Structures are given as C-alpha cells and as structure tokens.
Amino acid sequence: GAGVSQTPSNKVTEKGKYVELRCDPISGHTALYWYRQSLGQGPEFLIYFQGTGAADDSGLPNDRFFAVRPEGSVSTLKIQRTERGDSAVYLCASSLRASPNEQFFGPGTRLTVL
C-alpha cells in the first residue's frame, strides 16, 4: 500500500517568505508527527496530532511555526517569515494510533531558505 507522502520534495524560498509543507499519512493512521532534521543531525520532534487536534506541540521552536490537520488526515506545516536557520529536511511520520513504536516516515521535504 501507499506509504507516507510529502510535497514538495524540495522547496527553495527567500528569507522572510511564507511556506507550506504538506504531509499525506498512511490511510487510516490516526496519529501524525512532524520532525525537523538539520544537516548532519538526527530528527527533532516538532508536533504531533491525534486525529484533528495537536496533542503535543512542545517541539515547535517559536510562533512562526504552525501546523494543522483539519480533517484528521492530511497535515500542513506552515512557516511564516522564514529565516536561514529554518533550512532543514522536514519529516512527517504517521502511525495507526499514537505510539512511538509504530511510526512510518515519509521521504521528507528539503527546505532551503536563501
């Protein structure tokens, strides 16, 4: 079956611009997670959803970052007033239910802020 998909695969933007990154989880998965992986580092947790609600957003670095999942399936990560330090690969994962044990990752979106 289809895995987790993320679009776009690459995004280049200019400092100060607004970007949206999309994640399509595996069908039927109720939990969805966003992570950020900077160059040469491991992924870092940003936020996770159980259904439509953000169950834990403690990893969002500041109020320029926001994520939604209005229908409990597709999620969008939104970054306002992008900064060069936001450049990273943004990873999405989903699981059947909220658990660290069963997360399936997408290929990621590589964001470059010039």
**What CA–CA distance (Å, rounded) separates 96 from 114?**
37
- Residue (20 or 44) nearer to other proteins, CB: 44
Interaction pattern, residues 18-57, with other proteins; x per rule: CB under 8 A: -------------x-x-x----xxxxxx--x------xx-
CB of 79 to other proteins, least distance (A): 19
Task: For the segment 82-101, give every residue that binds other proteins (CB under 8 A).
Answer: 91, 95, 98-101
How would you classify the pairing of strands 10-13 and 109-113?
parallel
Q: Does 107 bind other proteins (CB under 8 A)?
A: yes
Check if the beta carbon of residue 45 is closer than 8 Å to that of residue 33.
yes
Which residues lie across from 1 on neighbouring strands?
none
φ, ψ (nearest 5 deg) of residue 51: 70, -130
Residue showing tokens 């079956």: 1
The contact set with other proteins (CB under 8 A) reads 31, 33, 35, 40-45, 48, 55-56, 58-59, 91, 95, 98-101, 103-108
